[in-house]
Structure 1
Amino acid sequence: MANENSPEPSYTLYVYYTRYSSWGVRAQLILEYFNIPYKVQYFNYTIPALTPPHELTTLPVLDVSPAPGAIASSSEEESPLRIPDSLAIAEFLADQHPEKNLWPADPQLRALARVAAAQMHSGFAALRDAYPSNFVSRFTGPGIPFPEAVAKDVAKLLALWHRVRVASSKRLRELGETDQGFLCGGFSIADAFFWPVLWRLRSYNVPLAGSTDEARKWMATMWNHPVMKAQGKEYFRQARDSQSHFGVYDDLFKATSDVTSGTFSEDWVFDGDIA
């Protein structure tokens, strides 16, 4: 366990505005949920003055500056460690803060969480391609596409949540530990990785037919938790800033007459269904 009295490195997270960012928002949620201090710099690739510099073209990126008093390297000025990719960032933070259990402490639960996060990190391409991440906007109507490939991805997603919750509940009972309702009991990197796909289901009014009680209870745990609600307020705060606007996402169905575009209210609550 890390020495709580020892100086810690400082973190700066470089991301696109997180109300649209399916990759960067994962890293931000991990930092927020586990109360890891950090600074954030937002970018907007649709506004020339707010595009990231060349060395930050692939976001998110976490810069890690040495802790005050750390042993200096042979170079005169220590460059920060620069970590791209949401999963690499998550793994680095888990290694740096083992006392916070970013992954479950139990090996079996940890394996379940890692498998789930890896599947989200590399899979569900049809769902991702059809529905860009957009937390604030709400699209309804028969013109929203729901092709077979997307329907299959949604079914796989709901089945995955069901399997992980059932297996985790069983393991937690064996361990005699409290089940907090997240994928593997307590909140972990796995939950953070599925946070933006929850938006997609909400923003595009995706049918949840076939979802089990276990899957819906996990969704409710995520949507109604104070940390996720606080993050939601941050996305609405961003929406009030014109610099954060990504027209390509907000105007996705602008020319489609049978889709109604609007926004959610900040006090929206998941009650077992999206509509």
Structure 2
Amino acid sequence: MKLIIGNKNYSSWSLRGWLAVKQSGLHFDELTVPIMGEEWDRLKHDMGEVQPSSGKVPILWDGDTVVWDSLAILEFCADKVGRERFWPKDETARGMARAMVAEMHSGYQSLRRELPMNIRRRVELPGLSEATRDDIVRILTLWAEARARHGSAGPYLFGTFGAADIFYAPVVTRFQTYGIGVPGFAQAYIEAICEHDWMREWIGAAEEEDWVIEQYEVMA
């Protein structure tokens, strides 16, 4: 398999796709393409015949199969190796995990817009919009409920590392980048995510990248 991702410093969806394939345990080759560069423009052109939503990362190639969209990649990998590797075994916990992943996949537009992922940066914001504050409160509420109801088996949202952690990992980096204050239980969860071997690998690579996308550096 081959996974095409964007800049590790900026691309939250690439992080989700990459973590999903890592969680599968399957071997894959990784191709990082700087988004908004000439190489990215060439790739989008080449992908046009096989990927209707060309121009988005991540993209997973597995033989003749091409899968784009991070949630589709996660589900594709789950089908190959067993869904229990990604989702809680308990039906109630699994239902909540699926709803949380779906909400992250389609929601929180204000947070995404106002707090773009930028792992290398540390910014003290003078204030946040009401919509972004609402997004943050909603996320922290979901984290609290998942940890309280289903997190007794370990430090992650549903105890063991899985799909929900994969999808909220970029939010963890955003909270750190912009110095978002969180309650103790959430800080413990943030530390658990950042100390995960795969996250340490991704963050280390992001810090070593020399690509800069100016529009993400001047925001906030």
TM-score category (smaller protein): 0.7 to 0.9
Residue 88 of structure 1 pairs with residue 88 of structure 2: no
User: Separation in 2 of the partners of 1:214 and 1:62?
Assistant: 34
In the TM superposition, what is the alpha-carbon distance from 1:141 to its structure 2 partner?
Answer: 4.8
User: Separation in 2 of the partners of 1:105 and 1:63?
Assistant: 28
Contact 2:24/2:77, CA 8 A, preserved across alignment: no
Q: Which residue of 2 aligns with 1:155?
A: 137
Unpaired segments ≥5 residues, structure 1: 1-10, 66-79, 173-178, 254-275
CA deviations on 1:8-58 (whole Å, 9 max, x unpaired) are xxx111121122111111011222344321112222233223433232412
User: Separation in 2 of the partners of 1:193 and 1:127?
Assistant: 14
Match of 2:4 among 9, 14, 35: 14
In the TM superposition, what is the alpha-carbon distance from 1:64 to its structure 2 partner?
Answer: 1.0
TM-score (norm 2): 0.88
Unpaired segments ≥5 residues, structure 2: 49-53
Q: Which residue of 1 aligns with 2:56?
A: 58
User: Separation in 1 of the partners of 2:144 and 2:84?
Assistant: 26
Three-state SS of the structure 1 residue aligned to 2:161 is coil
State the identity %. 27
Q: Which residue of 2 aligns with 1:37?
A: 27
Three-state SS of the structure 2 residue aligned to 1:63 is strand
Q: Which residue of 2 aligns with 1:199?
A: 173
Match of 1:216 among 163, 182, 187: 187
In the TM superposition, what is the alpha-carbon distance from 1:85 to its structure 2 partner?
Answer: 0.8
CA deviations on 1:153-194 (whole Å, 9 max, x unpaired) are 11111111001111104xx5xxxxxx1211111100110100
Greater helix percent: which structure? 2
Structure 1 range deviating more: 226-235 or 189-198: 226-235
In the TM superposition, what is the alpha-carbon distance from 1:103 to its structure 2 partner?
Answer: 1.6
Three-state SS of the structure 1 residue aligned to 2:12 is coil
Counterparts of 1:79-158 in structure 2, within 5 Å, are 80-98=64-82, 101-142=85-126, 145-158=127-140
Amino acid at match of 1:182: Y
TM-score (norm 1): 0.71
In the TM superposition, what is the alpha-carbon distance from 1:124 to its structure 2 partner?
Answer: 1.0
Contact 2:7/2:35, CA 8 A, preserved across alignment: no
Contact 2:20/2:166, CA 8 A, preserved across alignment: yes
Contact 2:9/2:120, CA 8 A, preserved across alignment: yes
Q: Which residue of 1 aligns with 2:201?
A: 230
1:99 to 1:150, Cα distance in 2 relative to 1, 3 A: closer
CA deviations on 1:86-112 (whole Å, 9 max, x unpaired) are 111101101101176122233232222
Amino acid at match of 1:64: D
User: Separation in 2 of the partners of 1:113 and 1:95?
Assistant: 17
User: Separation in 1 of the partners of 2:4 and 2:123?
Assistant: 29
